Amino acid sequence: MTNFEPLHPLFGVIVGDVDLTGPLADDVFAEIRAAFEKYSLLVFHDQPVSDEQQLAFSRRFGPLELTKIGALGAGTELVILTNVDPDAGPDGAIAPPEHRLHGSHRANSLWHTDSSFKKTPALASLLSGRVVPSVGAETEFASMRAAYAALPDETKQHIEGKVVMHSFANSRNQIDKDLASSAERDELPPVPHPMVKANPATGEKSFYLASHAAHIVGMPVEDGKSLIAELIDATTAADRVYRHAWREHDLVMWDNRCMLHRGQPFDDQKYRRHMIRTTVSDVDAGAEAAA
């Protein structure tokens, strides 16, 4: 019987007694899906999955995203987050300090939710630690749903019905003006998303923000930016954050509709790090946006 052990008072569970390297029975999957809706962050230890096994488990949650241009794994269903020279394989040499790979890890150090800059945003990300540094490179998580629940009623009313513009370049520009390429800027123009959304399974509301959130439609740009920053700060106060220290073969899954996350630094010239992410599309949100 699958079991769930709490990680943080506000969200998250460790899922035990489950083997993701093989097919899951429907009732086991249903328990995991329900836990995902309820707890927003699932940690599975000791899951030495192959790419195919990770893809198979991920697909049970819905259709997978294709990786955007400019990322490793572009055009496939895998995002490869690595500091190892992509031409050398996971056992190869660490890429030199000036390599663009290190820039994307720095951009991941901003609080964000994956793919909010896409027209069809993401339901979930599944990240497996294939090779993990022994020091640093933790991933931190915080719940926008928990932060929304704690907002005063007048703030809830103020943000209800508002629309936020998200753009890939907005987050990259905070690190380095040259980090987003002109091809990425052309392929990924700013997109609108509702500021407040309810989970379709539970009805619980959350706001939806990220480092990609650039401004709020109908508000002066600077006012929108400070409101976004204020809400992200409230979400990520130290006592509201869970920090995941990776073990090799952890698979960590989170709800991109309501969780923020960020990567912590590590000595990227000393330790190798090789992570594989699969990303499930939020097809309900995509269909609403097109309607």
Dist. CA 136–CA 156, nearest whole Å: 36
Residue 163 near residue 193 (C-beta atoms within 8 A):
yes
Q: Which residues bind Mn ion (CB under 5 A)?
A: 114
Cα angle, residue 276 at apex, residues 271 and 282 outer, rounded to 5°: 140
For 149-172, b/e burial (b = at least 16 CB within 10 A) is: eebeeebeeebeebebbbbbbbbb
Task: Return the number of the residue (114 or 250) whose C-beta is nearest Mn ion.
Answer: 114
CA proximity to 191, closest of 222, 160, 221, 212: 212
Three-state DSSP at 186 gives: helix
Nearest to 148 by CA among 235, 245, 60, 225: 235
